[in-house]
Amino acid sequence: MRLRFNWNIDRLPTKRERIATIVLGLIICALTGAISYFGIALFIKGESGFWQFSFFYVLFLLGLWSLVRAIFGKSTKPSSIAMMAVGLFWLSMGLLILFISLEESDELYMAIMGIASGIAIFKQGYRKRAKP
């Protein structure tokens, strides 16, 4: 059995990709929702600060929005702005990992992969935007 993968992200998602998105979205929403719930419970008891779990609140809301959009939304090609936003996100995560890894250890491969993928996705979105 030979596997093929289409590296072009400027296309409609396949049925398998939509199913995988829904399943992974459910898992992410369940995990971040549970962490957010326990964070709020600890905050109510006075054992933890609200801001310690703020990342998980935002992640839960983004995951929930993405899940609802994946289930009820229409399949569309990503816009150039969306591709550039994803590229900037990956680039910023790669730079963050780079700064952390410079301080903590000398393993830079994750940072290099994040920076390279961010630049590649941003570049593809920019090229799409530049076309008439």
- Tell me what percent of the residues of the chain surpass a pLDDT of 70: 82
Q: What mean pLDDT, rounded, does the chain reach?
A: 78
Q: Do the Cβ atoms of 120 and 126 come closer than 8 Å? A: no
Q: Where are the domains of the chain?
A: 13-76, 77-132
- What is the crossing angle of helices 80-104 and 109-130, to 10°? 160
In the predicted model, what is the mean pLDDT of residues 85-103?
81
User: Could you read off the pLDDT of 20-68 as tens digits, one per residue?
Assistant: 888 888 888 888 888 878 877 777 787 766 666 676 777 778 778 878 8
- Taken as a whole, the chain contains a residue count of 132
132 pLDDT exceeds 70? no
With residue 109 as reference, give the H or E element that holds it.
Answer: helix 109-130
Residue of 115, 109, 108 lying closest to 93 (CA atoms): 115
In the predicted model, what is the mean pLDDT of residues 11-15?
81
DSSP-derived secondary structure for 55-89: HHHHHHHHHHHHHHHHHHSPP-PPPHHHHHHHHHH
In the predicted model, what is the mean pLDDT of residues 88-106?
78
Q: pTM for this structure?
A: 0.56
